């Protein structure tokens, strides 16, 4: 039995638009709820949400029967962390703050088994192989892993063309909040100067044959990024969705 087909990766290769959402609750029950919403992909956020390897595993399990593909964002691009989330069953990994081709090459190697990479060969007892029942996992896993890199600093943008030449990088995700702050705009990703850099970066990613991605949390930004050519777009964050809906409901019905 081979590793499961990564349909999200296949969609990116085909150029299909993929609409997703961020998950920051770090809870399996909310992941399961989000999995019923109809998104193409969902991010299990290990960088800014209170996740550990157990909660990541539990959310992967909660999404196993969902049509929404789980993307795990690791907190940093360390080989040992990537190995852990892959062994937990992740097939798509998002790595923040990538700023060089050399870093990108190291991340590709971290996702692959020897001799092409350095991923530890110990998945037989893990969820990735369904505890040994996926007999040909080691032989077939590499081709189903999807590696997405976040470019979100001026240094990353400067190195973008080199990063895009690295074989094994499937997509590049622009981090608008970090990029705008690094550019001196303190999170204002709508600043014209920031928008210009984002538009140029998305175009360069697409021209290089990689999938361009980004996150937006309001309709104006969502449409702007789609118009710029974003292929995989996250259109919200679960915590923000709950907070906004709850506050609106309270404001509508609570006596003033």
Average of per-residue pLDDT across 29-38:
98
Confidence of residue 143 (pLDDT cuts 50, 70, 90): very high
pLDDT of residue 212: 98
pLDDT of residue 187: 93
Q: Is the pLDDT of residue 160 over 90?
A: yes
Provide DSSP, the chain: -PPPP-HHHHHHHTT--EEEEEE-S--HHHHHHHTTS--SEEEEESSSS---HHHHHHHHHHTTTSSSEEEEEPSS--HHHHHHHHHTT--EEEES----HHHHHHHHHHTS-TTT----S-GGGSGGGTTTT-TTHHHHSGGG-EEEEEE-SHHHHHTHHHHHTSTT--EEEE-HHHHHHHTTSTT-TTSHHHHHHHHHHHHHHHHTTSEEEEE--SHHHHHHHHHHT-SEEEEEEHHHHHHHHHHHHHHHHS--
Determine whether 48 is an active site residue. Answer: yes
Q: Is the pLDDT of residue 58 over 90?
A: yes
* Percent of the chain predicted with pLDDT > 90: 98
**The one catalytic residue among 48, 64, 67, 135:** 48
Confidence of residue 171 (pLDDT cuts 50, 70, 90): very high
Q: Is the pLDDT of residue 255 over 90?
A: no
Structural domains of the chain ordered from first start: 7-187+199-248 (3.20.20.60)
For the segment 211-251, what is each residue's pLDDT rounded down to a tens digit?
999 999 999 999 999 999 999 999 999 999 999 999 999 99
Average of per-residue pLDDT across 28-55:
98
Q: Is the pLDDT of residue 162 over 90?
A: yes
Averaged pLDDT of the chain: 97
pLDDT of residue 168: 98
Q: Which two tokens stand for residue 39?
A: 């998104």
Average of per-residue pLDDT across 158-165:
98
pLDDT of residue 256: 75
pLDDT of residue 133: 96
pLDDT of residue 198: 98
């Amino acid at each position: 039995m081979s590793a499961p087909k990564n349909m999200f990766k296949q969609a990116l290769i085909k150029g299909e638009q993929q609409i997703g959402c961020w998950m920051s609750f770090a809870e399996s029950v909310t992941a399961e709820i989000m999995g019923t919403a109809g998104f193409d992909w969902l991010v299990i956020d290990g960088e800014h949400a209170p996740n550990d390897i157990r909660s990541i595993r539990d959310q992967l399990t909660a999404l196993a029967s969902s049509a929404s593909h789980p993307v795990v964002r690791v907190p940093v691009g360390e080989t040992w962390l990537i190995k852990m989330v892959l062994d937990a069953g992740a097939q798509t990994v998002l790595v923040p703050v990538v700023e060089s081709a050399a870093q990108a090459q190291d991340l590709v190697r971290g996702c692959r088994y020897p001799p092409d990479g350095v991923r530890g060969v110990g998945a037989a007892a893990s969820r990735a192989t369904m505890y040994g029942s996926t007999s040909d996992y080691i032989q077939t896993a590499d081709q189903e892993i999807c590696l997405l890199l976040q470019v979100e600093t001026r240094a990353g943008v400067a190195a973008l063309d080199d990063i895009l030449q690295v074989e094994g990088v499937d997509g590049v995700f622009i981090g608008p909040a970090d990029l705008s702050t690094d550019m001196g705009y303190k999170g204002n990703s709508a600043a014209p100067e920031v928008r210009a850099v984002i538009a140029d970066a998305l175009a360069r990613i697409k021209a290089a044959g990689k999938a361009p991605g980004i996150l937006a949390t309001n309709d104006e930004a969502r449409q702007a990024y789609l118009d710029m050519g974003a292929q995989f777009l996250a259109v919200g964050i679960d915590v923000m969705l709950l907070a906004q809906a709850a506050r609106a409901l309270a404001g509508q019905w609570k006596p003033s």
